[in-house]
Chain A
Amino acid sequence: MGINHFADMSWFALIVSVALAVLSRHSLAERLKYAALTFVAFILIAIAVGWLMFPFSH
């Protein structure tokens, strides 16, 4: 199975975001909002950490 690092990370973030939203929120609207925010947070934090680590890769 081929790999795309960003797609892999996004897939993981999507699944976990949905699970956490269903676990911790009550209504559908709240769950959708929580899942979206969590997903965006996953992606943005991962990109930020990636850039922070970039200088150490050279």
Chain B
Amino acid sequence: MSVAGAAQAGRGDAAPGQASAAGGVGVLIAGWLVPGLGHVLKGRWGRGIVYFVVVGALAVTGYLQRGYVFSPHYSDAFSLLGFLADAGAGVFYFAAKWIESAGPDISRAAGDYGTRFIAAAGVLNVLCAFDALAIARRERD
């Protein structure tokens, strides 16, 4: 499934006349920072809300299970990949310290699962942000 194909498939839920003048890169950054915001800026309210809910559900589930959140101060390639995946969740990544105030606990299976949930939230949000970018570029062209 390509992002461009996914963007093309989503044309039907755009409300007429709601497309904003937001630029492609701005839409990409907005979609990364707040899950679904890139789609909202392009008038895809339904998609935007769904993406916010699913990315938020994955991230919050991971935090409640006390998954490990990778910091920007990585020490090896694995930590770097973990940080990039986690940071993909945008505002939910920055909210980790408040939601998961007790800190990570990966000595239990729940914490290990939580780590995967958090990473999945970030990767999924990056996919959604690039989908918003594809929509913006298609509208521009």
Contacts and interface: CB of A to CB of B under 8 A. Distances in A.
Interface of A: 1-3, 5, 8, 11-12, 15-16, 18-20, 22-27
Contacts, number: 56
Contact of B120 (A3, A5, A12, A22): A12
Nearest to B11: A26
Contacts of B1: 20, 23-24
B6 to A, nearest CB: 4
Contact of A23 (B6, B11, B108): B6
A3 B110 contact: yes
Secondary structure of the B contact surface, majority rule: helix
A3 to B, nearest CB: 4
B58 interface: yes
Interface string B93-108: 0000000000000001
A33 to B, nearest CB: 14
B127 A23 contact: yes
B120 A16 contact: yes
A11 B61 contact: yes
B10 A26 contact: yes
Interface of B: 1, 5-6, 9-12, 47, 50-51, 54-55, 57-58, 61, 64-66, 108-110, 113, 116-117, 120, 124, 127-128, 131
Given A1-B110, A16-B124, A24 B5 contact: yes
B5 A27 contact: no
Given A19-B55, A24-B1, A26-B11, 4 more contacts: A3-B109, A18-B54, A22-B47, A25-B9
Nearest to A30: B9
B62 to A, nearest CB: 10
**Residue picked from B1, B54, B66, most chain A C-beta under 10 Å:** B54
B113 A22 contact: no
Contacts of A2: 110
